[in-house]
Amino acid sequence: MHRSFKRIVRLGVLIVSGWTLSACGGSGSSGQMSLSVADAPVDGATSVVVKFTGVELMQSNGNPVDINFTQPKSIDLLNQSNTASAQLFNQPIPAGSYSSIRLMVLADGNPSNSYITLQGASGPTGLLIPSGAQTGLKLVTGFNVSASGVVDYTIDFDLRKSITCPGGQSSCFLQPALRLVDNTTVGNIQGNVSAALFTGTSTAPCIAPAVYLYSGATATPQGYYYNGSGPYPPVSSKVPTLDTATNSYYYQFTFLPPGSYTVAYTCDADLDTNPPPPTSPMTFAPVIDNVSVVATQTTTVDIQ
């Protein structure tokens, strides 16, 4: 058991059936759009269930394209772990310019709708998205769909800092940071962490293991919050999961722009809190520099 439930990494969902499409206005021409979401393990939880009711694509002219599910979809996000993405839909939509995407959810703090089950808890805790009933999960990022064209996008959820469970509260709060990426222009980093590093020893256990990713060939690692004013905040972080076939722990960073990155390992991710603790700064070892990401390719970086 980790010392605190502070780390929620990327999250994803799968919705593949039971929807209808409606739109206001438009020229009548259409293109094909595939929209997926990134997913990954979630530290400190045994289930994360979110109830989705549909997706709204907002055209730049102010007309919405509504994809409405005939029945709400309750999705256990942890069932989608260890894959690059899960597809929301792959359907024709009106051609044109779009300004935003809204994922419609039922997350009002009532565990009969959306909920999280924490490790060691006796039951689920409701998830609450402030103003979620009115606004859903909104991503304000433009994209274009040409007539007879095909586009392939993924919404990347970075929940490392976005789910909080305040003491004394009956609900956990979900306020995710969302990023829309073009799948044809991004790459991935993946690899294994040796079991010895992940677990540590009986006298020096690895209390809170995590892999952190930084932009730049020789970044100086730090946490999201500890020394948060430094020059190299993390791009993302992951808690590796056990691969029983190799007796090692697997991690994956997906949908990364091409370039150079630094990968760093820590056993102190529980210190990455807001506010940061006054003592005991995070330490990172090993630190792997000059990790290159190429579009549509996966770079393997094993941590030994």
- Between 169 and 93, the more confident residue is 93
Name the more confident of 14 and 22: 22
- Residue 201 identity (one-letter amino acid): T
Kindly report, residue by residue over 121-176, the tens digit of the pLDDT: 888 999 998 876 667 888 899 999 999 999 998 877 665 557 788 887 889 888 77
Would you state the pLDDT for residue 246?
A: 75
Express each pLDDT in 18-58 by its tens digit: 445 555 544 569 999 988 876 555 567 778 788 888 899 99
Whether the Cβ atoms of residue 186 and residue 295 lie closer than 8 Å to each other: yes
Can you tell me which residue has the tokens 């709400």? 72
Average pLDDT over residues 249-271: 92
Query: Average pLDDT for residues 213-235, to the nearest whole number?
Result: 80
Decide: 66 and 21 in contact? Cβ < 8 Å.
Answer: yes
Each residue's pLDDT tens digit, 61-75: 999 999 888 888 787
Q: Which of 3-17, 123-137, 229-243 has the highest mean pLDDT?
A: 123-137
From residue 117, alpha-carbon distances to 54, 90, 121, 123, 165 in Å are 24, 31, 7, 6, 11
Average pLDDT over all residues of the chain: 81
pTM of the predicted model as reported, rounded to 2 decimal places: 0.66
For the cut 60, the answer to whether the pLDDT of residue 93 exceeds it is yes
Mean pLDDT within 237-253: 84
Buried b (16+ CB within 10 A) or exposed e, 117-137: bbeeeeebbbbbbeebeeebb
pLDDT in tens, 97-127: 999 999 888 999 999 999 988 888 888 999 9
Position 59 scores a pLDDT of 97
pLDDT at 211 > cutoff 90:
yes
Share of the chain above pLDDT 90, in %: 36
pLDDT of residue 144: 94
Confidence of residue 289 (pLDDT cuts 50, 70, 90): very high
In contact, 107 and 174? CB cutoff 8 Å: yes
